[in-house]
Structure 1
Amino acid sequence: MIRNIIWLSIMVLLISCGGDDGPPPAPEGAELIFPEENSECTTGVEINQSSTQITFRWGASNHTESYSLIVLNLETNVTQTINTESTSASVTVSKGTPYAWSVTSRNTSSDQVASSPTWLFYNAGSQTTYAPFPAQLVSPLSGSTVQKDIANEVLLVWSGADADNDMDTFEVFFSDTNPPTTSIGVTDASTISSTMEMPVSVESGTVYYWRVVATDLEGNASISGVFDFKVL
């Protein structure tokens, strides 16, 4: 009897110690600090006539052991990635050039990662005015397959920003050839909402290509990348 009680106590102890505490907490997204969103960055160490070194900064995020700083040149689509355990990192960037940057949070105890928002900025150059940031195409995602609506249309969605706050228009180019050269409309961009939208007529089984040209009041223009999608 005593032996049975001892064994029962051991089993209860093992069960209580081996309980499932659930998966480890996933990292959370970092809060970006500098360079500021949609700004002209004038702070940096000059490397040469064409480039400066900028120190990117962000806030520490919960449940995070390391970060990946991702800096994208919006003119060349070349990405620089810096892995660090700190909340800052220095990157050499070209003068007078638009960039996008974000931070990915990681924890070795979790297989999940968290991404910060993506901020845009211009690295200061010799120019006194800047073209708008290239429009960020949101939907449909490039390479996706989409369903047309009852009116045989698909909604194109993009966002835009301008460091000088003098955005004028967005012109949308859309066709079944790459690159798209057919202008299907110009949208007033003087008051930019979080996203812009334009419906387009489509046919099933066709692959379409689209891009957006952003222009400011001084005539400076920037061209987005080309996205493609297929219609079911």
Structure 2
Amino acid sequence: MKKIFLLTLCINILLVSCNNDDDGIDPPEPIVNTAPSIPVMIYPTNNLVCIENAINFEWESSTDDEGNVPIYEVQIATDIDFTQGLNSFTTIATSNQITLEKGQLYYWRIRAKDTKDATSDYSEVFNFYTEGTGVINHIPFAPVLVYPELNSEQTDNSILLKWSAQDADGDSLVYDIYFGNDNTSLDKIASDISESEYNADLTITGEYFWKIIAKDGNGGRTVGQIWSFTKK
């Protein structure tokens, strides 16, 4: 009887010990899925004047830390905000050919997502021309922001706005500047200036918005996107 009691006691001790060991095991850390890297654009390059309107878009492969296969989303549009003449496609390849209209200025960008829908930011925006029959003048490429950095904070009472712009025909450009605190109603503060910089007064604190219209003197005119910064 004493042996049976001791055997039962040992079994109970072993069971308690096993249960305690199980309780001490930490659960595995959950795997956090991250988005693929932003694809690097290869072709068409920025400010390119294309010979053909059947264009093979190319980009470098994205990397994915979890080993998921990236799916690429490409957007092509006739305005820099991607709201007009929008063409888009998805693919797992790193190139795709698409035929566009001739004699048209286009913008394109790309992003990558994985099979679990984790999506990268869009790439930078490139613009290019499809060459048209009998085209004698191209409108300027969209102005590019130089300074101040988008959504930056400024403390001075004035700021030197800077931008750059190019023209496929090599025409000299002049600029109109629109500036203000309401992005739906900007004031024209300069017209037909040839320099690509302008000193603007910051009379109040708060958010400021501005945009550039580039003109080539031959009727070509391109409206840039609205940029912003904040005066502290």
TM-score (normalised: structure 2):
0.68
Distance change in 2, residues 1:93/1:137 (3 Å): farther
Report if aligned partners of 1:72, 1:80 keep a CA contact under 8 Å in 2: yes
- 1:214 is aligned to 2:222: no
- 1:37 is aligned to 2:46: yes
In 1, distance between residues paired with 2:198 and 2:146?
Answer: 12
Paired letter, 1:133 = F
CA distances 1:182-222 after superposition (whole Å, capped 9, x unpaired):
4257244xxxxxxx643311432799764323355x85643
Unpaired runs of 5+ in structure 2? 1-12
Distance change in 2, residues 1:29/1:100 (3 Å): same
- Paired residue for 1:203? 203
Distance change in 2, residues 1:32/1:19 (3 Å): same
- Paired residue for 1:3? 15
- 1:70 is aligned to 2:69: no
What SS class does the counterpart of residue 100 from structure 2 fall into?
strand
Aligned sequence identity (%): 21
Distance change in 2, residues 1:65/1:171 (3 Å): same
Report the count of equivalent residues: 209
Distance change in 2, residues 1:179/1:95 (3 Å): farther
Per the TM alignment, residue 171 of structure 1 is displaced from its structure 2 partner at its CA by 1.8
- 1:55 is aligned to 2:56: yes
Unpaired runs of 5+ in structure 1? 46-53, 189-195
In 2, distance between residues paired with 1:20 and 1:208?
Answer: 45
Structure 1 vs Structure 2 CA RMSD: 3.8
What SS class does the counterpart of residue 114 from structure 1 fall into?
coil
- Paired residue for 1:172? 176
Report if aligned partners of 1:25, 1:110 keep a CA contact under 8 Å in 2: no
Distance change in 2, residues 1:9/1:35 (3 Å): same
Distance change in 2, residues 1:226/1:120 (3 Å): closer
Paired letter, 1:59 = E
Report if aligned partners of 1:169, 1:215 keep a CA contact under 8 Å in 2: yes
What SS class does the counterpart of residue 6 from structure 1 fall into?
helix
More strand, by proportion: 1
CA distances 1:47-72 after superposition (whole Å, capped 9, x unpaired):
xxxxxxx3322122112521110112
Per the TM alignment, residue 134 of structure 1 is displaced from its structure 2 partner at its CA by 2.1
Per the TM alignment, residue 110 of structure 1 is displaced from its structure 2 partner at its CA by 6.0
Per the TM alignment, residue 97 of structure 1 is displaced from its structure 2 partner at its CA by 1.4
